Structure 1
C-alpha cells in the first residue's frame, strides 16, 4: 500500500470518528487548506468532507492548487477567503487574481446566504477614459491597459465637475460597497444562516447538527478542552474499532484513492493526447491567451449544454468563436472527443478548429467565427423572420449539409457519426455556406462496419432517430445522422420547428405528417412560395426529408444517395412510404428503388 493510500486511510478514519462518525457526539473537526489558512467548520465544510459536516451546498469551500480557500457564489464568481470570524459571522474575501473589480458585472448575493457587511452601498458607473480624470479620482489599476484607464463614478458624484470628453461609458453596477472598486482587493461579507447558531461562539461553543433527531435542526456544542483531549478521545475511539469497521474504512479509503487516481489519470490522458496532437495545425493557447482573445469574455454569442461561446479576435482582421467548456464536463471526454474528431476533418462544409486550451481544469475550443450564426436563426419562427433565405439558397444549404455529413461518413479514415445534427449546429459563413459544428457527441467507428453500440441515448429531442431510444427499430448507425438530417430538411421547408414543446393542443397537426399527407393526396404544399421554381424545390426537399425520416434505419438512404437526390431533378423522386402509418417494429420494410434488401448490421464497439 502506497504512502498516498496510507494518508487516505488515516484521513477517512479521522472523518469517520470525528466528523459525525462516533455517534455524532464529537464536535465537527476543523479543516484548513493550508497551515495558516482560515479554520473551516460548521456551517462551512470543504468539498472533500462528508455532506453532513456543513449546513448546505451554499457553504461549501474548496482548495485550489495554491492551497487558497475558495468560495463559489451562485453567479460563478469565485472568492479567495482570507479569514472567517465565526463569532461575528464575518468572512474577509479577495479576488483570486487580485482584481476584485473584474468580477463586478457577474457579482450577485441574491441567491447566497451572504450580504455586504454593514457598509454603505451605492450605484456606480464605469467609464473607459483615454486621459487622466483630475486629481480627485484614481483609476481602477487592475482593469486598465496601456492607452486607457477605467474609472468608477458613484451615483452621488456630480459629473458636471468631471470632464468626460475622452471617456466612454462601459456599464452600470448597482448597490455595491466602495471597497469593491478600491485597489485593496478586500471584501467583507456577513452570513445569517442557520439562525440557531447565533451566540454559540460567544458562549465558547461550536454549532452543529442536533443529534438524535430526524429534523434538520442545529444546536451549540461544547468545544474540546484541549488538543490533548481530542487526541485521547480519538485514540480511545480507534482502539475500540472492530475488524469489521476497519475493513469498511479501508474499503472506503480505497474508493477515495481510486477516485483521486482516476481524476489524475484523466488529466494525464488529456495531456498525452495533446502531446500526440502537436503535429496537427490547431494551436494550443493558455487560459490567459483565451482571456485576451475574448477581451475578458466580453461578447457572448450563445450557451449550450457543454459550455458558453464568446466572440474573440486574433488580430484586427481575424475573428474567432471561443467555446469555454463547463468545469462539469466529467473526465474530459467531450473535450478530447471534439479535438480528436476535428483533427481528422478537412472539408468546406465542416467548421475549422483554429486552436484549443487545456490549462489545468480550464478547457476551451477556438473555431472560425461565422458572422451569420446558425441555420436555426433562419428556419425557426422563434427568431423572427423565417423567409429571409430564398429557396435556391435553402437548397444550396441542404446540399452543403448533405456533402458535409457524407464526408463524415465516408471521407475520413474512420466513419464519424455526429449524433447531434440540428439547425443550431449548422453554422453559416458570410456567403451562407453551411458548416457542421459541435462534435462533442460524435463517435468514431470502422468504415467496414455499420453499427455502433451505445449505452445511453444522445442528441437533441426532435432530431434523435428512433433506434437511439429503442433497439426494436434497428441498430444505431450512420443512418441515425440521416434521420436527423431529414428532420432538419423538413424544418427548413416548414419554416418552423418540427417539434414544438410549447404547443399545448396535442391535436395540432404535426408538420412532417401533414406535409406527407398533402403530397400523398396530390395536394399543393401550402407553404410560402415567392417565384417560379420555388414549389419544385420545396417539394424536392420535402421528399428527400421524408425518405430520411423513415422509422427503420434500413429504409433510409445513405448520405451519398441523399446528395444524388438533392443534385437531381425533383420530379424524378418517388413518394416514400409513410413514416407515420406504423411506427412499430413489425412494419414491412418498404423497398426503395435501387436499394438492396435488408441485411442485419453487426454491432461493434465505440472506438476509444
Structure 2
C-alpha cells in the first residue's frame, strides 16, 4: 500500500483513500443486513434466508416484511391479507413462486380464494425503482416472470360462444355456471349475465393455447406464479439512488450501471443539467395540469393514482383540476351568455321589424277600420273575461263598445313572421263591406299586442249547428239552404266584387259566423291572399288551409293550377257536411262504402237509390238532393271541372230537376274508383267561358220526382 501511495500524486492518494473507505462502508452495511444467521427450513423449502425469514427466527435475520410462516410443514406467505403457499425461492434469480391456498385446500370447489391482480402492485418507475411493496411484478429480465391473469366468473346462463370460457368441473354451489378465463383475461371480456368472483395469477405455459381444459388451467394455478424482490431490496442494497440497477441473466448477478440517471415527471434521462431539469420539469408540470383538467372533464381520477417522482406534481394536478377547469367553464358560460344575448337581440330586431312592417302597412293603406289603443281593448272586453273561443292564431273574447253594440275581439298571439296574418286580415276585411262577410270595426297595434275588433255574431259559428253531440239539428233544411246560399254570395263577392281578387283558402264551418237572424258571415282571413282580378292562376310557396277542406291542387300540381277554384272546392266540402249533418270522413261507418260520405252519396244517385231521410218532408228532401248535387260539382278533382261561384249560386237558386250528374269525385290523381269510373272522364268542364246553362238538361234519373 505504501508503494502505491509513493508512486501517485497527492490527489490520487486522496481518491484512493476515499475508495477504500466506501468499500469498507459498503461491507459494513452488508454485514449489518446479513448478520451471522443460519438458513431456516419448512417442508420442501430448505433455504429460507435473507431477505426472507421464518417466524421465530432471531431478530435481525431477514426483513420483517418478508416473514414466512410454517403451518403443517407447509411454507406460507401472507400477501395483501391473502394466504399463499411457497413452492420455491430462487435466490440466484431473485424469484419466489407462490400458489393461492384455495386452489390446493378447497377440494370440493378448487378455485382461487383471494383476489389478486396487477392493480395490487405499485407501478415501478425510474432508475431507483422506488416502491413500498415487498414484492413486485417487475424484473429486469421480463422472461423470468412467467404468469397470466386468470378470472373466475359466475354466469347465470351457459356461455357457448367463447372458447376462452372453460367451465369448472368441480361442484361449486354458486347458483349458476362457474367458468375460468385463462388467456389474457380482461374486465372487458366479462359477458352479460356474468360477474367476476375472483382473479389471480397462474403459470403462463398455456396462455397461447386456446383449446385448454379445466384440468390444464387447474394445473397452471397449482404451479403458481413468480414475484421478484430484486428491485425493492437488492437494488436498494447494492446501488445508490439514481444509479440504474440491472440483473445480468448470464452471470445471475445484480449490476450497478455507472451511468447516472435523473428521474423527472414521467421521464428518465441521462441529461441531469440545470437546463434539462428546468425543461423536463416544466413539461411534466404542464402534463400534470392536462391530467388534472382531463380528470375533471371526464369525472375520473384514474390517472391521478399513478405515483410520480415530482414534488410539485400534485400542485399541477390541482391547478388543472380546479383553476384551469374553472377558467374554461367561466369562458364557456360567458360564450353561452354572449350567444344567448345575440339570439335575443336578433329575435327582438326581427319582432321590431315585424312591428315596423305592420305600422308601414297601416300608414300606406288608408283603411276604414278604427285604430284602438290596447287599454281601450282591455276595457271593452272587461279584462278579457268572456272567452268566445280559440282561433287559428289567437283567442276571441266578447266585448262591448262605448256606443253600445257588442263586438268580438280577436287577440293574435301566435302570429306568423312579419305579422303577415294580421296584415292579411286587415288588408282584406278592412277594405270591403258585404252582408255575408264579417265586418271589421277596428284594430290595435302596440308592440307585441295586436287585436282585431269584429261585429259580434250572437249565434256563433256554423259548426255547432252541423256537428251536434246529441245528434239533433236545430236548423231546418230551408234554413241550411239559405245559409249555404248566403255563404256562396259572400265568397262570390270576394272573388269578383272588389277591385282585387281575394282568395280565402280556409272555408270551413268554424269560419262561418251566424248573426241573430242566422245570416252567415265569412270570417277569419288570416290565410287570405290578394291578387289582381285578371289573374286566373296564382303562386303559393306552401299549402294552406285545413285538412279535409283543402283542394287537391294545393298538394298535387299535376291536376291544375291554384286559383279561386280552391275556395269552390272548400265550399263544396262545407256544403256536403251541411247537407249530411256529419263529417265527410267517417271511419266508424257501418259499411266501407260509407267511410267517405261524398262517394257514398254519388253512388246512391248513380244507382238511382233514394236516400233515407227520416222525419223530413218531400220538399226538404228535394232541397237536400240539390245541395248534394251542387256539392258534388264543387269537389271535382280538376279545378277546370268545377263551376265558378256565380254558377254555384245559379245552381242553388235553380230547379233541382234541371241539374245533371257530374262525374264521380276523386281525390288523388289517376285514381280508379271502385265502380271502375276514371277521373279522366269526358264530363262537361267548368271554366269562365262556360255557358250558364251547361249544367242544365235532362237527367238520367228523377232527382226530385213530382
TM-score, length of structure 1 as denominator length: 0.55
Answering whether residue 406 of structure 2 is matched by residue 319 of structure 1, we say: yes
Contact 1:406/1:559 (<8 A) preserved: yes
1:591 and 1:597 in contact (8 A); partners too:
no
The aligned residue for residue 83 of structure 1 is none
The CA deviation at 1:315 is 3.6
Following TM superposition, by how much is the alpha carbon of 1:421 offset from its aligned partner in structure 2, in angstroms? 0.2
| SS, match of residue 451 in structure 1 | coil
Match runs of 1:87-236 below 5 Å: 211-212=297-298
> Is the counterpart of residue 373 in structure 1 residue 465 in structure 2?
no
**Aligned mates of 1:411, 1:597 — CA distance in 2:** 18
CA contact (8 A) 1:378 1:385 kept: no
Look up the match of 2:353.
265
Match of 1:182 in 2: none
Distance 1:255 1:298, change over 3 A: closer
Question: Could you tell me how far apart the structure 1 residues matched to 2:486 and 2:494 are?
Answer: 13
Q: Does 1:436 align with 2:522?
A: yes
> Is 2:375 the counterpart of 1:282?
no
1:46-125 equivalent positions in 2, closer than 5 A: none
Change beyond 3 A, Cα 1:287–1:505: farther
Q: Quick check: 2:637–2:679 contact (8 Å CA) kept in 1?
A: no
User: Counterparts of 1:558 and 1:367 in 2: how far apart (Å)?
Assistant: 29
Deviation at residue 567 of structure 1 after TM alignment? 1.1
- Give the secondary structure class of the aligned counterpart of 1:452: coil
State the partner residue of 2:483: 397
Q: Quick check: 2:586–2:595 contact (8 Å CA) kept in 1? A: no
Decide which of 509, 512, 517 is 2:603's aligned counterpart: 517
Would you say 1:591 and 2:687 are equivalent positions? no
Q: CA deviation at 1:317?
A: 3.4
Contact 1:485 1:548 survives alignment (8 Å): yes
Question: Counterpart in 1 of 2:629?
Answer: 543
* Structure 1 position 211, deviation (Å): 4.9
For residues 189-217 of structure 1, give each alpha carbon's deviation from its aligned partner in whole angstroms, at most 9, with x where no partner exists.
Answer: xxxxxxxxxxxxxxxxxxxxx9558xxxx
> Quick one: structure 1 residues 316 and 516, their matched pair in 2 at CA, closer, same or farther if it must change by over 3 Å?
same
Q: 2:535 maps to what in 1?
A: 449
SS at match of 1:331: helix
Taking the aligned partners of 1:223 and 1:329, their CA distance within structure 2 comes to: 49
Residue 564 (structure 1) aligned with residue 671 (structure 2): no
TM-score by length of 2: 0.47
Q: Residues 315, 254 of structure 1: CA spacing in aligned structure 2 closer, same or farther, 3 A cutoff? A: closer
Instruction: Provide closer, same or farther for how the CA distance between residues 581 and 266 of structure 1 changes in structure 2, counting only shifts above 3 A.
Output: closer
- Report SS of the residue matched to 1:533: helix
Are 1:465 and 2:551 an aligned pair? Answer: yes
User: Are residues 505 and 308 of structure 1, via their aligned partners in 2, closer, same or farther at CA, if it must alter by over 3 Å?
Assistant: farther
The Cα offsets for residues 344-384 of structure 1, whole Å up to 9 and x where unpaired, read as 221110000011111110111110001111111111133x4
Cα deviation, residue 414, structure 1: 1.2
Q: CA RMSD in A?
A: 3.6
Mapped to 2, the partners of 1:337 and 1:486 lie a distance apart of: 24
- Pairwise CA distance, 1:529: 4.9
Counterpart for residue 509 of structure 2: 423
More off after superposition, 311-320 vs 442-451: 311-320
Which of 338, 360, 364 is the matching residue for 2:425?
A: 338
Q: Distance in 2 between matches of 1:211 and 1:439?
A: 55
The structure with higher relative contact order (CA 8 Å, sep 6+) is 1
Structure 2 CA distance for partners of 1:223 and 1:486, relative to 1, 3 Å = farther
- Check conservation: 2:374, 2:449, Cα contact below 8 A: yes
Alignment partners' CA distance in 1, 2:424 and 2:402: 28
Deviation at 1:573, TM superposition (A): 0.6
* Unmatched segments (≥5 aa) in structure 1: 1-209, 214-221, 239-248, 599-608
Kindly indicate whether the alpha-carbon contact (under 8 Å) linking 1:512 and 1:546 is maintained by their aligned counterparts in 2.
yes
Distance, in Å, in 1 between the alignment partners of 2:354 and 2:611 is 53
Work out the CA distance in 2 between the residues paired with 1:234 and 1:379: 62
Judging changes above 3 Å, is the alpha-carbon distance between structure 1 residues 576 and 253 closer, same or farther for their aligned structure 2 residues?
A: same
Name the structure where helix makes up a greater proportion of residues: 2
